Amino acid sequence: MLLEPFEFGFFVRAIIAASLVGGLCALMGVYIVLRGMSYIGHGLSHAVFGGAVVSAIMSINFFVGATIWGFLSALLIAWTTRKNPIGSDAAIGIITTASFALGIAIVSRSHTATQNFEASLWGSVLAVDRGDLIAIAVAASIIAVIFFVAYKLFLFATFDPDVAQFYGVPTGWVDTLFSLMLAGTIVVSMQVLGVTMIAAAVVIPPIVARLLTNSFRTMVWLSTGIGMICSVLGIYISYFVDVSSGASVVLLSAALFVAVLSWTKIRGLLLSGQGTALTQLPRESGGTFE
């Protein structure tokens, strides 16, 4: 009975898609969270919705059109904050909501398109077809390879972008590449998780991983693993309780976050004096200078 959903081809596709998307969002999320740009995941996913609608109207391939749209939005955000006294949070708020509103405006005028975009907003396992699966697998592979090969560059540029530049790291190119990767991630994740749920899939797994480790390398692996497991379990559960797949994944991740946070707090109290990873104070070790 518990294996029943696996008899359906659409469900197997959905599970594979979910594990890839969950891992991908969580991997991107490590860099997003550590750069303090959690809000951009939320913003860009809305911006990409506008791009998706415009692509559909103009009969451009969804993945290509929406990725370019999201990438341009990210560049526009960066450009706006660089040239003007505008904070990045405000720039994200303006550009992405305008883009989202454009998508909504077009959808509300052309009534025929409404049905398809509902899936983009809320996420649906049923919406994943073979083509989507291939697109997800390609995007996930490319992004994983980039993070692997340029591991050192991304680490330095994330930890201390200003100083990384002094050490010769091409931080401008790293940022641009990152924006493109983020746009691609959001575009392939839209059908599975939905625009409104992507932010949580990007933010929760790395935060849970951060609570459990002080090492960057471990955090990358842990976050990706948590993202994959939560997505797969969330979609599996959604089959039985009949809720939208995105909501199911997010609620499961949030529950895990609460559980891990509670556990670290309790452990911190039990081992009082040592604290949790996030609240550890610098230990004064006198006599280190001879």
* Contact positions vs another protein (CB under 8 A): 34, 148-153, 155-156, 159-160, 162-169, 210, 213-219, 277-278, 280-286, 288-290
CB 74 within 8 A of CB 53: no
DSSP calls for 109-158: HSGGGHHHHHHHHH--GGG--HHHHHHHHHHHHHHHHHHHHTHHHHHHHH
C-alpha span between 20 and 229 (Å, rounded): 10
Closer CB to another protein, 155 or 182, in the complex: 155
Q: Residue 150 Cβ, how far from another protein at the closest point, in Å?
A: 7
Query: Residue 202's closest CA among 75, 28, 10?
Result: 28
The total of other beta-carbon atoms located within 10 Å of residue 37's CB is: 18
Q: Residue 144 Cβ, how far from another protein at the closest point, in Å?
A: 12
Torsion, Cα 209 212 217 223, to 10 degrees, reads -20
Q: Residue 72 Cβ, how far from another protein at the closest point, in Å?
A: 24
**What six digits make up the tokens of 98?**
């305008």
Closer CB to another protein, 12 or 278, in the complex: 278
C-alpha span between 38 and 110 (Å, rounded): 33
Closer CB to another protein, 72 or 146, in the complex: 146
Q: Residue 174 Cβ, how far from another protein at the closest point, in Å?
A: 11
Q: Residue 165 Cβ, how far from another protein at the closest point, in Å?
A: 6
Closer CB to another protein, 111 or 283, in the complex: 283
Closer CB to another protein, 164 or 232, in the complex: 164
Closer CB to another protein, 126 or 149, in the complex: 149
**Could you give the C-alpha distances from 206 to 46, 60, 86, 221, 222, in angstroms and in order?**
21, 34, 28, 10, 8
Q: Residue 249 Cβ, how far from another protein at the closest point, in Å?
A: 24
